Structure 1
Amino acid sequence: MKKRSVLIAGHPTSVSLEEEFWEALKAIAQTRGTSVNALIEEIDTTRTGNLSSAIRVFVLNAVQGRA
């Protein structure tokens, strides 16, 4: 698991995710024509738990065709 720094609404924060989730998140962002930071900001606006978990759920839903 690797910790990475991201900007959310202009504020730096760190997120720890397994490499497979980071790669999937980058692929989703590229498919959507957006940056990883912008995609994480979008996920952040709808999350109810911690950010790392919300990203994992988002990636899972995207892979299953629900995002």
Structure 2
Amino acid sequence: MRNTSPLPSLVQKHSVLIDGARTSISLESAFWRALKRLAAERSMSLGELVSEIGPAAGRGNLSSAIRVHLLNYYQQKADQIARDRRP
């Protein structure tokens, strides 16, 4: 029997330039790819997108804020697709 479980997504540190300062973000590769995809979709640099997400972190963890932002974004997108498919 073939193992079809997804490969583990290891947390990796990534460096992003935000307002001229390097910031380190620890994200799983799947979240990093989604962040890059969203930045490209919105014609923004990674730094611009992270800077936009950052204030949502408040005093919390920026990496967690990015994960929540991406989850919310793609959930809204999935909800819209489901609404569009309704008769």
TM-score (norm 2): 0.69
Mapped to 2, the partners of 1:65 and 1:18 lie a distance apart of 21
Query: Given the alignment, which residue of 64, 71, 75 partners 1:60?
Result: 71
Mapped to 2, the partners of 1:63 and 1:2 lie a distance apart of 22
State how many pairs are aligned.
66
Choose between structure 1 and 2 for higher RCO, CA contacts under 8 A separated by at least 6 residues: 1
Mapped to 2, the partners of 1:54 and 1:5 lie a distance apart of 16
Query: Given the alignment, which residue of 11, 22, 41 partners 2:51?
Result: 41
Q: Taking every aligned residue pair, what percent have the same amino acid on both sides?
A: 52
- Could you list the runs of 5+ residues in structure 1 that have no partner in the other structure? none
Mapped to 2, the partners of 1:59 and 1:46 lie a distance apart of 12
Q: Which has the higher mean CA deviation after the structures are superposed, 16-25 or 36-45? A: 36-45
Structure 1 moving runs of 4+ over 4 Å: none
TM-score (norm 1): 0.87
Backbone CA RMSD of aligned residues: 1.3
Larger radius of gyration: 2
2:24 maps to a residue whose letter is S
Q: How many Å apart are 1:43 and its aligned residue?
A: 0.6
- Secondary structure of the 2:76 match is coil
